[in-house]
């Protein structure tokens, strides 16, 4: 979960309960962390592809419990040497994630689910820098990935120089076009960009 060695992933969470008397807040954090796990046991999706994403909701509670466990371990250790050893252990675990785990994960997820920056680079290189544009992304199937690969380039306020929209047919595209009358219109299909207006 933190990119640490598996043995240490929840070790400090256990210490939050075993190394001292847990406070009411610790039990509340544990309940918050266990809630999504219990709820997703009954969720209809198989979770084969996206299972871990459902557990991001428990991450804040687990992080806080991990810190509480580190504090509990520090309170149990006597002397400066014990605190230095604990600090070194946590530093090594973080370094393990940054040096050994994270680069592998970044490489493994490059192009994951058909998402890459190639089409966005094509659009940005083709549309003049001074022009604001609305790009309709053709989705020949009902699958999401043709548009999904470009969706993240949109800002939440849809105010960027280039806005990507899923092409949903003439009627709906015309309605959207009316909301952005000052923008040039393009259609992106099969890695080909065509200007419409």
Quick one: pLDDT band at residue 195, thresholds 50, 70, 90? very high
Burial environment of residue 153 by CB neighbours within 10 A (0 to 12, 13 to 18, 19 or more) = middle
> 133-137 and 184-189 as β-strands: parallel, antiparallel, unpaired?
parallel
List the chain domain ranges.
6-110, 115-195
3-state DSSP assignment of residue 101:
helix
Range scoring the smallest mean pLDDT among 47-51, 54-58, 61-65, 139-143: 47-51
User: Which runs of E-coded beta strand occur in the chain?
Assistant: 133-137, 162-166, 184-189, 192-195
Highest mean pLDDT range out of 88-97, 107-116, 185-194?
Answer: 88-97
pLDDT (0 to 100) of residue 41: 79
Count CB-CB contacts under 10 A for residue 58: 19
| Percent of the chain whose predicted confidence (pLDDT) is above 70 | 96
Half-sphere exposure of residue 147, counting CA atoms within 13 Å on the CB side? 18
Mean pLDDT of the chain: 88
pLDDT tens digit string along 68-92?
999 999 998 878 998 999 999 999 9
pLDDT (0 to 100) of residue 25: 93
Burial environment of residue 9 by CB neighbours within 10 A (0 to 12, 13 to 18, 19 or more) = middle
| Percent of the chain whose predicted confidence (pLDDT) is above 90 | 53
d(CA 194, CA 76): 67
């Amino acid at each position: 979960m933190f990119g640490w060695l598996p043995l240490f992933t929840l070790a400090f969470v256990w210490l939050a309960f075993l190394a001292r008397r847990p406070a009411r807040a610790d039990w509340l954090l544990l309940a918050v962390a266990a809630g999504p796990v219990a709820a997703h046991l009954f969720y209809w999706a198989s979770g084969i592809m996206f299972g871990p994403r459902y557990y991001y909701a428990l991450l804040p509670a687990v992080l806080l419990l991990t810190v509480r466990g580190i504090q509990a371990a520090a309170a149990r250790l006597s002397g400066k040497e014990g605190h230095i050893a604990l600090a070194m252990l946590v530093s090594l675990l973080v370094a393990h994630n940054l040096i050994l785990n994270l680069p592998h994960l970044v490489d493994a997820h490059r192009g994951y689910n058909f998402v890459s920056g190639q089409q966005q680079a094509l659009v940005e290189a083709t549309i003049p820098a001074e022009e604001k544009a609305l790009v309709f992304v053709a989705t020949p199937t009902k699958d999401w990935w043709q548009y999904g690969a470009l969706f993240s380039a949109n800002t939440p306020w849809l105010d960027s120089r280039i806005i990507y929209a899923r092409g949903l047919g003439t009627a709906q595209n015309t309605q959207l076009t009316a909301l952005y009358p000052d923008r040039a219109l393009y259609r992106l299909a099969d890695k080909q960009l065509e200007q419409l207006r």
